[in-house]
Structure 1
Amino acid sequence: MKAIVSFFITISLAATCAAQQDSAVNKKFSIHWQATAIPQYHFGFKSPYSGLNSLQASEPLKTSFTTTLYLAYKPFRSTYLVFDPEAAGGKGLSKTLGVAGFPNGEIYRVGDPAPKPYIARLYVEQRFPLSDKKEAVEGGLNAIQETTNKEYISVLAGKFSLTDFFDNGAISHDPRTQYLNWGLMGSGAWDYPANVRGYTLGLVIQALYHDFALRYAITSMPTEANGASLQWKYNKAMGQVLELEKEHLWQKDDTHFGTLHAGVFWNKARMGNYETSIKNSLPSYAPDITDSRVYGRDKFGFYGSIDNHFGKFHHFIKASWNDGKNETWAFTEIDRSFATGVSLDGSLWKRNNDHFGMAILANRLSKPHRDYIAAGGYGFLIGDGKLNYAPEEIAECYYSFNFFKWLYISPDYQFILHPAYNKDRGPVNVAGLRVHVEI
Structure 2
Amino acid sequence: MRLATVFLLLTGALALTTAAFADDAPLFIPQWLGAQYTFVAQHQGTVHSPYAGPLSLRKQGDTARSHTFGAYFGVALPAHLAFYVDVEMFRGEGVSGATGLGGLTNGDVIRAGVAGLGRGAYVARRYLQWSLPLGDGRETVERSQDHLPGTQATQRLDVKLGKMAVNDDFDRNRYANGTRTQFMNWDLFNTTSWDFAADTRGYTEGLMLAWVNPAWTLRYGIYRMPYEANGQRLENSLRHARGEQWQLSLHPHPDGWVLRLLAFRNHARMGSYRDAIAQALATGQVPDVHADDRPGRRKYGWAINGELPLADNGDTGLFARMGWNDGRNESFVFTEVDRTVSGGFQLSGAHWGRSADHIGVGFALDALSRPHREYLALGGTGFVLGDGALNYAHEEIAELYYSWAPVAHLTLSPDFQWVRHPGYNRDRGPAEFAGVRAHVEF
**Which amino acid is the alignment partner of residue 288 of structure 2?**
D
- Per the alignment, residue 273 of structure 1 pairs with 272
The offset of 1:138, in angstroms, is 1.6
1:243 aligned to 2:247?
Answer: yes
Q: Secondary structure at the match of 1:210?
A: coil
- Per the alignment, residue 217 of structure 2 pairs with 213
**Which amino acid is the alignment partner of residue 202 of structure 2?**
G
1:80 aligned to 2:82?
Answer: yes
Question: Which of 159, 162, 166 matches 1:158?
Answer: 162
1:420 aligned to 2:419?
Answer: no
Give CA-to-partner distance per residue, 1:151-174, whole Å, 9 cap, x none: 110111000000100001111011
Give CA-to-partner distance per residue, 1:314-362, whole Å, 9 cap, x none: 1001100000000111000000000010001111111010010001000
The answer to whether the 8 Å contact 1:26/1:145 transfers is no
The offset of 1:24, in angstroms, is 3.5
- Per the alignment, residue 174 of structure 1 pairs with 178
The answer to whether the 8 Å contact 1:101/1:188 transfers is yes
Q: Secondary structure at the match of 1:221?
A: coil
1:160-309 → structure 2 map (5 Å cutoff): 160-248=164-252, 255=255, 257-281=256-280, 282=282, 284-309=284-309
- Per the alignment, residue 339 of structure 2 pairs with 336
Gaps of at least 5 residues in structure 1 are none
Give CA-to-partner distance per residue, 1:120-142, whole Å, 9 cap, x none: 00000011111111111122112
TM-score of the superposition, structure 2-length normalised? 0.94
Please say which of residues 14-23 and 404-413 is displaced more in the overlay: 14-23
Q: Secondary structure at the match of 2:276?
A: helix
The answer to whether the 8 Å contact 2:67/2:90 transfers is yes
The answer to whether the 8 Å contact 1:407/1:437 transfers is yes
Residues of 2 paired with 1:3 and 1:392: CA distance?
37
The answer to whether the 8 Å contact 1:39/1:432 transfers is yes
The count of aligned residue pairs is 434
1:40-59 → structure 2 map (5 Å cutoff): 40-59=42-61
Q: Secondary structure at the match of 1:403?
A: strand
Give CA-to-partner distance per residue, 1:54-88, whole Å, 9 cap, x none: 01012441011111101121122511111001101
The offset of 1:6, in angstroms, is 2.7
C-alpha spacing 1:230/1:305, structure 2 compared with 1 (3 Å): same
1:354-393 → structure 2 map (5 Å cutoff): 354-393=357-396
The offset of 1:11, in angstroms, is 2.2
Q: Secondary structure at the match of 1:435?
A: strand
The offset of 1:213, in angstroms, is 0.7
1:17 aligned to 2:21?
Answer: no
Q: Secondary structure at the match of 1:20?
A: helix
Please say which of residues 97-106 and 137-146 is displaced more in the overlay: 137-146
Residues of 1 paired with 2:62 and 2:364: CA distance?
26
The answer to whether the 8 Å contact 1:30/1:142 transfers is no
The answer to whether the 8 Å contact 2:224/2:238 transfers is no
The answer to whether the 8 Å contact 1:30/1:144 transfers is no
The offset of 1:8, in angstroms, is 3.9
Residues of 1 paired with 2:39 and 2:116: CA distance?
16
Residues of 2 paired with 1:113 and 1:351: CA distance?
42
The offset of 1:26, in angstroms, is 9.1
C-alpha spacing 1:358/1:210, structure 2 compared with 1 (3 Å): same
Residues of 2 paired with 1:404 and 1:222: CA distance?
41
Residues of 2 paired with 1:169 and 1:20: CA distance?
32
Give CA-to-partner distance per residue, 1:21-41, whole Å, 9 cap, x none: 335499973421001010100
Q: Secondary structure at the match of 1:295?
A: strand
Residues of 2 paired with 1:305 and 1:163: CA distance?
13
Give CA-to-partner distance per residue, 1:244-293, whole Å, 9 cap, x none: 11123xx5xx65x2001111000011100000000001454210112211
**Which amino acid is the alignment partner of residue 357 of structure 2?**
D
Give CA-to-partner distance per residue, 1:153-202, whole Å, 9 cap, x none: 01110000001000011110110110000111100100010000000100
Cα RMSD of the aligned pairs, angstroms, is: 1.8
The answer to whether the 8 Å contact 1:374/1:388 transfers is yes
Q: Secondary structure at the match of 1:363?
A: strand
Question: Which of 408, 414, 434 matches 2:437?
Answer: 434
- Per the alignment, residue 136 of structure 2 pairs with 132
**Which amino acid is the alignment partner of residue 17 of structure 2?**
C
Residues of 2 paired with 1:77 and 1:437: CA distance?
35
1:118 aligned to 2:122?
Answer: yes
Q: Secondary structure at the match of 2:187?
A: helix
Please say which of residues 106-115 and 363-372 is displaced more in the overlay: 106-115
1:318-337 → structure 2 map (5 Å cutoff): 318-337=321-340
**Which amino acid is the alignment partner of residue 39 of structure 1?**
A
C-alpha spacing 1:413/1:133, structure 2 compared with 1 (3 Å): same
Residues of 1 paired with 2:318 and 2:57: CA distance?
31
The answer to whether the 8 Å contact 1:195/1:222 transfers is yes
Residues of 2 paired with 1:104 and 1:112: CA distance?
20
- Percent identity over the alignment? 35
C-alpha spacing 1:365/1:77, structure 2 compared with 1 (3 Å): same
Residues of 2 paired with 1:23 and 1:239: CA distance?
36
The answer to whether the 8 Å contact 1:166/1:243 transfers is yes
Q: Secondary structure at the match of 2:251?
A: strand
**Which amino acid is the alignment partner of residue 31 of structure 1?**
L
**Which amino acid is the alignment partner of residue 246 of structure 2?**
L
- Per the alignment, residue 37 of structure 1 pairs with 39
C-alpha spacing 1:37/1:4, structure 2 compared with 1 (3 Å): closer
C-alpha spacing 1:113/1:91, structure 2 compared with 1 (3 Å): farther
The answer to whether the 8 Å contact 1:236/1:297 transfers is no
